Chains A and B, each alone.
Chain A
Amino acid sequence: MMMSTFMPVVLWSDGLLAVLLAVMVAFVFYVRRRPPLIEAWRKVGGSAAGMASATVLLFFMAVGVLDSLHYRPLLPGKAGAAPQYSVEVKSALDALLSDLREKSEKTYSAPLAAHLFAKQTVEMEGRQVREFPRLKHGGAHLADPPRQWRDDLEDRIWVGLGYAALAWLGCVLLVTLACARGVGLAGACVNVWAARTVVNWRAVLITLGLMFAVVGPVAVLAEGYHVFGTDKVGQDVLYLSLKSVRTALIIGTLTTLVMLPFALMMGIVAGYCGGWVDDLIQYLYTVLNSIPGVLLIAAAVLMLQVMIENNAALFATAAERADARLLALCAILGLTSWTGLARLLRGETLKLRELEYVQAARAFGVSGVRIMWRHVMPNVMHIVLIAVVMDFSALVLAEAVLSYVGIGVDPNTVSFGSMINAARMELAREPMVWWSLSASFVFMFLLVLSANLFADAVRDAFDPRLARRVRLPRFFKKA
């Protein structure tokens, strides 16, 4: 019998992420049957900024999902003996990037360097010499780094660009073929590049082109170098940055997933029922709201640390423990952030309750629960959607700050916050170690910026009030 070479591990956050993806797929099917929603999503699809940012977000999501397929590799053991699995939990992304993961150096090295960043005493022909030692992996294929380094880099960048061009042309072809129905290939070409398609493919293709032009060379360079350098213990910074993406995504999405049922139920029930139920729910969220967010989170995380410390036996691996902490952080962030959405929903429900169709449903004797479920909830969903996408970027930013303060993710979890925290100490060094900070800055900026732009596109499409607000009176425009 073939022994499997790994044991799949489903961490809680992996499971919840899968649930989230399933919800998204279900939502797509839900939207497909409702023309008004299709119309709104078409607006998002037609917006250049929206589609460009969605492309970048999808890339990050792919990284995050790959990093969420966890397993424990089989340890080499005697034939016939019971299989032993490593206690180290890896992910599909780790397997893909095993090169980056395993090629670690001794300590700091600058991006694309062939030598360590600091002088070390090494033994050469029996003498002790202080010099910059060669890296074990970065540029190890070069016989004479100072002379070959430049040419090698250029070669690799060109090869990378070549791959990128190929991949990009493939995408262009696919898109053109997909849009060719009814207009022919030439017509599709014109339509795509004049941005006359329903989905703004031009924006997608341009973004893809830019992304490939960066990812291609980086991928080829990463085979022989540490593109973003290495950190204090010699880990590749590019690898760490890619790993941080999952943490950011989990915090940004699962927090909302956790708090959403709460906010929906509380908001709608408070608005619909009124009376003492309303008073009670309002009291609850005023109390939660009046505790400053950071302090509430700090207090809860402190207590969480105590709990995890005292129940260490519950977790089989370090990864499970870190995962529990990550999820708990999501829950705590959710606990502090549901109040805002609940208040919005309550206000909207108060308005909807008085509308004719709800009155009619009540007159027909439809039960309260059913009215809330069938008639009120679908009509507040646009608020929920807007809140969800707008919260995402705020949560990603919050994670970095919280981890910096020491009340964020587990120290073993790679995240933007922990990267910044580790890199901050090195700013005082002379010369400065700038690369881990820059890498986390670039990745975080791209992620949050695209999330912000996408949120704007969604809000513009779904918030009718806003559309009216931004349309200016004609006479007011400058001549």
Chain B
Amino acid sequence: MLAYFIRRLLYAVPILIGVNLATFVLFFVVNTPDDMARMQLGHKRVTPEAIEKWKAERGYDKPLLFNEKAEGAAQITDTIFFEKSVKLFVFDFGRADDGRDIAHEISSRMGPSLAVAIPVFLLGLYATVSLALLLTLFRATYLDFWGVVVCVAMMSVSSLFYIIGGQYLVSKVWNLVPISGYASGIDATRFLILPVVIGVIAGIGSSTRWYRTLFLEEISRDYVRTARAKGLSDSAVLFRHVLRNALIPILTGVVVVIPLLFMGSLLTESFFGIPGLGSYTIDAISAQDFSVVRAMVFVGSVLYILGLMLTDLSYTWVDPRVRLG
């Protein structure tokens, strides 16, 4: 078990190196730092001095991979690649354009992100699994048919409309909760209710339909026939046997997103003014703050790989037949 885990960890290393190289190519080779400077300073009438100053402020004035002017080890370390990319591995992200430390910013913004993402995740999972069970219980009836129709319709609505519509109805027409904003501590609840509810509703359509398919697949198995044949009731089979077995693909499917909850949701956070990582990313994108976007890409990849590892572990946990080694 432990050996397997260590091997998985070692597997992750080349992937992270790949991610790192990909971002390096994307951010520094596709466009040179000169191009970026010209873009940010307004591409007309840019003096070479202004470009040099912009680059020096951000530490982009070094050579890309190999510094000929330096001595010894500094030939490698005093380069953009080492300063900007290699240091990501130790979570040293440098400073954003506004001068703040990105690593500190990320750790302080994780809280608000999680405050939205975790309730959305748990409530959403609970709601969709229950709904899917309901549809499965009433399969091949009108309830099932119209349930699936509603699911498909809900899938076809852009998440933007869920947020805009929800904000309009609940906050503006009914005046129940504030439209946007955030407070620390227990005060945050009234700001969080609406984003959480909307997040859950927006996810219902596709997940319910998917889980319903999983349940139906499970129902056509032999053990279900056996259970029915020995006289168990339909609902007993569904809740005691089918649910437990179908939870295996459901759980292993959702485990991969658990670490990504830290990243927050871009849309929800920007619409509701929640100071989490999602809105941080959006702000960085609109301000064209390359270093923040680069840091977020790296953090996101680390979390995703972590999710993959947790998925493997969860297989052994929910399904004793699976042995890793």
Measuring CB to CB, which residues of chain A are less than 8 angstroms from any residue of chain B? 283-284, 286-292, 294-296, 298-300, 302-303, 305-307, 309-310, 312, 393, 397, 400-401, 404-407, 416, 420, 424, 427, 432, 437, 441, 444-445, 448-449, 452-453, 456, 468-473, 475-478
Contact = CB atoms under 8 A, between A and B. Distances in A.
A427 B160 CA distance: 13
Interface stretch (B111-119, B191-199, B245-253, B282-290): B282-290
A294 B269 CA distance: 15
Nearest to B28: A303
A453 B152 contact: yes
B267 to A, nearest CB: 6
Given A305-B39, A405-B282, A445-B156, A299 B27 contact: yes
Nearest 10 A/B pairs, CB to CB: A287-B18, A292-B300, A449-B156, A448-B156, A290-B304, A290-B301, A306-B39, A306-B31, A295-B297, A469-B217
A299 B294 contact: yes
Contacts of B267: 401, 404-405
B78 to A, nearest CB: 25
Contacts of A307: 30-31, 35
B84 to A, nearest CB: 13
B305 A290 contact: yes
A257 to B, nearest CB: 23
Given A290-B15, A471-B220, A302 B228 contact: no
Interface string B249-282: 0000000000010010011001000000000011
A19 B38 CA distance: 37
Which one of A288, A309, A424 has the greatest number of beta carbons of chain B within 10 Å? Answer: A309
B80 interface: no
Contacts of B35: 306-307, 310
A302 B216 contact: no
B39 A295 contact: no
10 contacts: A283-B15, A290-B15, A290-B19, A292-B300, A296-B297, A302-B288, A310-B43, A401-B160, A406-B282, A406-B286
B141 interface: yes
Contacts of B288: 302, 305
Nearest to B260: A292
A295 B296 contact: yes
A470 B36 contact: no
At the interface, is chain B mostly helix, strand, loop or mixed?
A: helix
A333 to B, nearest CB: 15
A401 B158 contact: yes
A296 B263 CA distance: 14
Interface string B198-237: 0000000000000001001101100011001000001000
A478 B141 contact: yes
Interface string B121-160: 0000000000000000001110000000000110111111
A310 B43 CA distance: 7
Contacts of B228: 475-476
B155 A452 contact: yes
A303 B286 contact: no
A299 B26 contact: yes
Given A290-B305, A453-B152, A472-B139, 19 more contacts: A283-B15, A291-B23, A291-B300, A295-B281, A299-B26, A302-B293, A309-B39, A393-B155, A393-B156, A397-B159, A405-B266, A424-B164, A441-B157, A448-B156, A452-B155, A469-B217, A471-B220, A473-B220, A475-B225
Contacts of B301: 290-292
B256 to A, nearest CB: 11
Contacts of A294: 266
Given A291-B300, A302-B290, A478-B140, A472 B216 contact: yes
A295 B160 contact: no
Contacts of A472: 139-140, 216, 219-220
A400 B297 contact: no
B14 interface: yes
Which one of B141, B160, B164, B234 has the greatest number of beta carbons of chain A within 10 Å? Answer: B160
Nearest to A297: B285
A298 B285 contact: yes
Contact of B160 (A296, A300, A305, A404): A404
Given A283-B15, A441-B161, A449-B153, A310 B38 contact: yes
B89 interface: no
A449 B39 contact: no
Nearest to B152: A452
Contacts of A427: 164, 167-168, 172
A262 B270 CA distance: 35
A437 B216 contact: no
Contacts of B141: 478
Nearest to A423: B164
A397 B225 CA distance: 41
A426 to B, nearest CB: 11
Contact of A437 (B155, B164, B172, B263): B164
Nearest to A470: B216
B322 interface: no
Contacts of B153: 449
A445 B157 contact: yes
Given A397-B158, A478-B141, A292 B263 contact: yes
Contacts of B281: 295, 298
B93 to A, nearest CB: 14
B31 A303 contact: yes
Nearest to A407: B285
Which one of A302, A437, A468 has the greatest number of beta carbons of chain B within 10 Å? Answer: A302
A432 B219 CA distance: 50
Contacts of B18: 283-284, 286-287
B15 A287 contact: yes
Contact of A405 (B19, B158, B285): B285
Contacts of A397: 158-159
B170 interface: no
B70 interface: no
Contacts of A444: 158
B22 interface: yes
B15 A286 contact: yes
Contacts of B286: 406
Nearest to B139: A472
A313 to B, nearest CB: 11
B140 A477 contact: yes
A324 B292 CA distance: 26
Nearest to A311: B35
A440 to B, nearest CB: 9
Contacts of A476: 219, 224, 228, 234
Nearest to A427: B168
Contacts of A471: 220
Which one of A300, A406, A473 has the greatest number of beta carbons of chain B within 10 Å? Answer: A473
A416 B159 CA distance: 13
Nearest to B303: A292
A61 to B, nearest CB: 17
A283 to B, nearest CB: 7
B317 to A, nearest CB: 23
A472 B208 CA distance: 19
